[in-house]
A and B are shown apart, each in its own frame.
Chain A
Amino acid sequence: MQTTELLNTYFVDSGTWDEMYKDTAVREQYKGVVEFMQQLNVDELNRKEELAKRLFMSQGITFTVYSSGEGIEKIFPFDIIPRIITAAEWKYIEEGIKQRLKALNLFLKDVYNEQFILKDGVVPVEMIYSCPHYLREMHNFPVPYNIYVHIAGIDLIRNNDGSFYILEDNLRTPSGVSYMLENREITKRIFPDLLPKNNVRSVTEYTNILHRNLVSLSPRPINNPTIVLLTPGIYNSAYFEHTTLARLMGVELVEGRDLVVSNHRVYMKTTSGLQQVDVIYRRVDDEFLDPVVFNPGSMLGVAGIMSAYRKGNVAIVNSIGNGVADDKAIYTYVPSMIRYYLNEEPILKNVPTYHLDNLEEREYVFGNMNKMVIKKTNESGGYGMLMGHTASEEEILRYKVEILKNTREYIAQPIISLSSSPCYMNGKLQPRRVDLRPYALCGPEGIQIVPGGLTRVALREGSLVVNSSQGGGSKDTWVLAG
């Protein structure tokens, strides 16, 4: 069978924006890929899919699922058909994210220091003090270059009219960037020559920019500062990503037990004694970072690291306490922050969000539960979510009871349909919902966004949840040069 047949039988849901098709016509940016695919028959396409799987497995791009006492290696599902973003779309996204990130950094600086935005009543004080990620330990501490968010993963979705919305800001330890890099490597193998032919912009600069930024943060003005990537260890589901980034940047991958703090300085234990550490790119959550200050039971962190940070003897990336800015309830105020700090209109739109501690909004939400998605404000990864249109009566009732116990912990948003993209699954082309997470890097020289990102795919038919922890997959994401 020829692939043309597959393309002809692809059926797009009428109420949804499809990334590849506009009605029955292929969108301009996808023509190169479609032409290439038409030259293949289904067997060839299957072989490419096989090859992709084998490459992931052999490179150990896997996560381990432990069941019945035995580790099983799984690959993060990858769909071979790329997701393509035009130059114009990218320009718009890039500007929007830069603007947003600038405001979010200013907000963090403000909220941990003078708190003008609270005094001016733009963001309600209760919102801040009720947020579990707001850390008093960060008060009145000048972080280097006033940068709190060095690495951000901003989640975007597309409504049925094709316009982009910000779904979520990830400002703590956003993950997934290694899949942006590895997915591209796989594409090079399964679709030879296709990338240059389509003018796809490269993403490989990511680790160079990140490394440059990390070096520039070193508190000691030396040529070769010691930079480490702090990982929770091999059992962490993102461990592969940690090793990839450490390898590509040539920095040491350390665990908490490799580090020790002495006289407010951080050292790593080496075969030739202690060596001072200047910059820590940590992939350990705030809560586990320092057992002296935060969770005393943490085995992943380093005792005393907070004191070294506050003394300015070590740089920590991302800064601590950023959770107050990506809290799902604070999210509502980001457009106001942009107007307040930058005196600009927000470029990228927020999804309308209802605060459930506001009586009127709550009544409205409770009356329209089947059109709403309910989210916990301090959860991520798709946990603690209720999709109103598919939930049963009992589930909805249970959520209402939970919400009433602590209204600050939940927000509601109207269900946005998410754009679809064709995926090659079980020998058929099928539409699946996607989002987009570009990665923004913020250094002393400004904000840079590598042209690309992670396209996450909700693999179940009709599902709107793309998180990998909820059975999502991913696609290579192409940004075309103009």
Chain B
Amino acid sequence: MLSRVADSLYWMSRYMERSDGILRMLKINYASSQDDINEFSWKPVLHIFTYLEEEQANAIEHHSRAVLQYMVTDKENPNSVLNILTKARENARSVQDNITKELWQCLNDFYHAVRDEQLVQWLHKEDPVTILDTLIKHGLLYYGTADITMSRGEGYAFLNIGKFLERGVQSADILDVKFSDRDFDFTKTDTTYWKYLLLSISGYELYLKTYRSGFEAKNVVEQIVLDENFPRSVNYSVQRLYTYFERLKNQKNAEGFQKIEFLIGKIRSRVKYSTVETIMHQGLHAYLTGIREELYEVANALDQYYFAYL
């Protein structure tokens, strides 16, 4: 496979994962804003997902519609869903002959849906949940189409490497900012807050089934970092990353393969041999920072050994 093609598939996939993460997070935070006794603040969201200055964030932190518009359709926001999808589509366009026609069309339709000029108005006037749901469904269609139509070759491996690397980073991000945001007292119980945190990454039902009891910080951390069955956990993402990377083994790129296998193996062990107690002991923020940095190291090594073509 051409290095450039591998690179584009990987980035297309990272951007698609990112757009999905942002849309889900927006949907649940919006729901949460309708449910809050105190005035809901979008600050944590703006903190993780935008580059806004403190004052700019302060200006819109209590205005859900303004935040939604900024995060979904704003052309000036490099991390808006619109801009992320544009990048995903540019990448897809340059590898159109390496993805199925169905996958291309589905991504292309998604792109046109976000570009629809009426969307801005709808976000202003209509029910935001309906709109976000529609967009999320476009994303689900993309995942399903990739799953059902793409051949299980090298391209598929790169798609998934991008997807799970991005997901690992995102889950770490969400957890980190949510907790570090408010000088978190881990002993305090704040049910609404955790409920929405879990909901935003589709982990609420699993939490209830696993822990049955009320909300406890360490359980939430355990599920989002360590649970091997929770598809958004750091552990799950890293395991999948490892599985798909292993599929590149038979290639002639032995040096690069070994280097990256080593790097992913390191994160795997770190996550595997952590317990919630050791994480809390080390400090959640320090732990998550470490994971993120190691994931970025993998990304850089992929650039160097697999995608370099200039």
Instruction: Report yes or no: B93 in contact with A59, Cβ–Cβ below 8 A.
Output: no
In the bound assembly, the distance between CA atoms of A233 and B4 in angstroms comes to: 12
Q: Is B273 an interface residue (CB 8 A)?
A: no
- Min CB–CB distance B254 → chain A (angstroms): 10
Which of B1, B97, B248, B251 gathers most chain A CB within 10 Å?
B97
Residue pair A268, B252 in contact (C-beta under 8 Å): no
A253 and B3 alpha carbons, distance in the complex (Å): 12
Given the known interface contacts A234-B94, A258-B309, the answer about A268 and B2 at a Cβ–Cβ threshold of 8 Å is: yes
A234 contacts B93, CB within 8 Å?
A: yes
Contact B309 A269, beta carbon cutoff 8 Å: yes
Are the CB atoms of B309 and A60 closer together than 8 Å? no
Instruction: Give the nearest-CB partner of B106 in chain A.
Output: A58
* Residue B77 at the chain A interface, CB threshold 8 Å: no
Query: Using a Cβ cutoff of 8 Å, how many contacts connect chains A and B?
Result: 69
Q: Are A239 and B112 in contact (CB under 8 A)?
A: no
Task: Say whether, besides A57-B112, A257-B309, A271 and B101 are in contact (CB < 8 Å).
Answer: no
Residues of A within 8 A of B309 (CB): 257-258, 269
Question: What is the bound-complex CA distance between A246 and B96, given in angstroms?
Answer: 9
**Restricting to B84-127, which residues have a CB under 8 Å from any CB of A?**
90, 93-98, 101, 104-105, 108-109, 112
Residue A252, interface by CB 8 Å:
yes
Q: B245 an interface residue at 8 Å Cβ cutoff?
A: no
Which residues of B lie under 8 Å from residue A94 when comparing CB positions?
none
A269 vs B3: C-alpha distance in the bound complex, in angstroms? 6
Tell me how many residues of A have a C-beta within 8 Å of chain B.
25
Which chain B residues lie closer than 8 Å to A60 at the CB level?
Answer: 93, 96, 104-105, 108
B287-310: which have CB < 8 Å to A? 306-307, 309-310
Q: Is B243 an interface residue (CB 8 A)?
A: no
The answer on a CB contact under 8 Å between A252 and B2 is yes
Residue of B with least CB distance to A268: B2
A247 located at the interface, meaning its Cβ lies under 8 Å from any Cβ of chain B in the complex: yes
B3: A residues at CB distance < 8 A: 258, 269-271
Q: Are B112 and A58 in contact (CB under 8 A)?
A: yes
Q: Is A252 a contact partner of B251 (Cβ separation < 8 A)?
A: no
B 59-102 binary contact with A (CB < 8 Å = 1; else 0): 00000000000000001000000000000001001111110010
Q: Is A19 an interface residue (CB 8 A)?
A: no
Partner of A270 from B1, B98, B109 at Cβ < 8 Å: B1
CB–CB A252/B112 < 8 A: no
Q: Which of B222-259 contact A (CB under 8 A)?
A: 248, 251-253
- In the complex, whether B16 has a CB less than 8 A from a CB of chain A is no
A233 and B109 alpha carbons, distance in the complex (Å) = 22
Which one, A59, A233, A247, A269, contacts B2 given CB within 8 A?
A269
Interface flag for B6 (CB, 8 Å): yes
Using a CB–CB distance below 8 Å, which chain A residues touch chain B? 57-60, 70, 73, 233-234, 239, 243, 246-247, 251-255, 257-258, 268-273
Query: Could you give 10 example pairs across A and B, Cβ below 8 Å?
Result: A234-B90, A247-B96, A253-B95, A269-B309, A271-B1, A271-B2, A271-B154, A272-B252, A273-B252, A273-B253
